[in-house]
Amino acid sequence: MQLAKRLEKIPPYLFAELDRKRDELVAKGVDIINMGVGDPDQPTPSHIVEAMHQAIDDPSTHNYPPYQGTISYRQAAAEWMERRFKVKGLDPNTEIVSSIGSKEAIHNTFLAFVEPGDYTLISDPGYPVYRTSTIFAGGEPYTMPLLAKNGFLPDLDAIPEEVAQKAKLFWINYPNNPTGGIATLEDFEKMVNFCKKYQILLCHDHAYSEMAYDGYKPPSVLEVPGAKDIAIEFHSLSKSYNMTGWRVGFVAGNPIGIKGLGQVKTNVDSGVFKAIQRAAMAGFQTTEAQLQAVMTVYGRRRNILVEGLKSLGWPIDVPKATLYVWAPVPPGYTSTEFVTFLLEKCGILVPPGNGYGAAGEGFFRMALTVPEEKMYQAIERMKEIGLRYQ
């Protein structure tokens, strides 16, 4: 029995490897503070859970769902896009498709548009699936470094003409995982114009659209006039409403992009359980006050972690969005060396920046998904061993 050769090009999934290391140390009795994966530790809001209970009791939810999602779910998603971003007129029949979270929809988009020899333009550092799905589809990933000096935005002028001419997909993610970088509508407009020039499908992974602080409201790329001519946007309820395990989201935008994604989906999955779609519709009705109550919890954790790192000499800015703090490793360490040191000496599990791409070397990411007391404990463990940035 022999594995497909494409798997030789695919490294072990970053977070699966982190889970393995965590389990090894836990088995040895080590008390691990897991700040690795962005998996919210707060419960799903009660109004969503209640909607799920009611939907499960309805036998009409127990059969196969429509592949593209129920019309009521797609209509609810279109209405949410209009309320949240003032993006009007999305056709639920041709411009919205349901998704099993974002990960499967992201992967299936590569299968729908990328052929051997095609380039994909992906951010570096970035969500590892962008690279691995390019490889699965037989394409060539072209990485766009996201550097602090550029505000963690891609340098469009640095993309070679021959690469742009052969590119099929352009992937962005703002608010950005892992850097926490944000983009303005003016930034999005430049990307839309670039993709129109070369007829590249612009794919905006908007998983953190509601995960923002201090009054900041991340925009949608579809707010840019004419963006729907070239762009699709991926939304997930996972982070916004503490629903990572529910696996539900949607993709909206360009009809050709939606059609291609939908055609792949009909052949590889059977849609989202109808009861979960109904629960997600309740999620779309979450009030601003309810959302801010959740973000207040993460905001306090963010402040504890940032101030704690600053007290140890870290040069770090307060992130405006996402569930992460992106921090430089101390001088003299590589990313892998430093996170190994944190794990072995402090029992703190975090991913290395280079796990998200070569441009992430020299950084590490800390998730805000542990209680405040664990945040304080992590900083205290670092102090106890005399760890400082310099």
- Each residue's pLDDT tens digit, 220-270: 999 999 999 999 999 999 999 999 999 999 999 999 999 999 999 999 999
Whether 24 shows a pLDDT value over 90: the answer reads no
Whole-number pLDDT of residue 39: 87
Q: Please determine, for residue 13, whether its predicted confidence score (pLDDT) is greater than 70.
A: no
Q: How confident is the model at residue 11 (pLDDT cuts 50, 70, 90)?
A: confident
CA 331 – CA 304 distance, rounded (Å): 23
Amino acid at 54: Q
How far apart are the C-alpha atoms of 106 and 99, rounded to whole Å? 9
Classify the C-alpha dihedral 28-30-36-40 as positive or negative: positive
Note the pLDDT tens digit of each residue in 319-332.
999 999 999 999 99
Residue with structure tokens 């550029």? 150
Share of the chain above pLDDT 90, in %: 88
- CA–centroid distance for 97 within its chain: 18
Confidence of residue 14 (pLDDT cuts 50, 70, 90): low
pLDDT(383) > 80? yes
Q: Is the pLDDT of residue 18 over 80?
A: no
Kind of pairing between the strands at 140-145 and 96-99: unpaired
26 falls in which pLDDT band (50, 70, 90)?
confident
Amino acid at 100: I
Instruction: Report residue 299's pLDDT band, with 50, 70 and 90 as the boundaries.
Output: very high
How many CB atoms neighbour CB 203 within 10 A?
30
Domains and CATH numbers, the chain: 5-43+289-384 (3.90.1150.10), 46-284 (3.40.640.10)
| Cα separation, 230 vs 315, whole angstroms | 39
Q: How far is CA 176 from the centre of its chain?
A: 7
pTM value is 0.95
CA distances (Å), 72 to each of 76, 96, 229, 234, in order? 6, 12, 25, 19
Contacts of 28 (CB under 8 A, 6+ apart): none
Segment 278-286 mean pLDDT: 98
Q: In terms of DSSP bridges, do strands 249-253 and 231-236 run parallel, antiparallel, or are they unpaired?
A: antiparallel
- The DSSP-derived string for 347-381 is -EE--BGGGG-GGGTTEEEEES-S-HHHHHHHHHH
- pLDDT above 80: residue 143: yes
Size of the chain, expressed as the number of residues it contains: 390
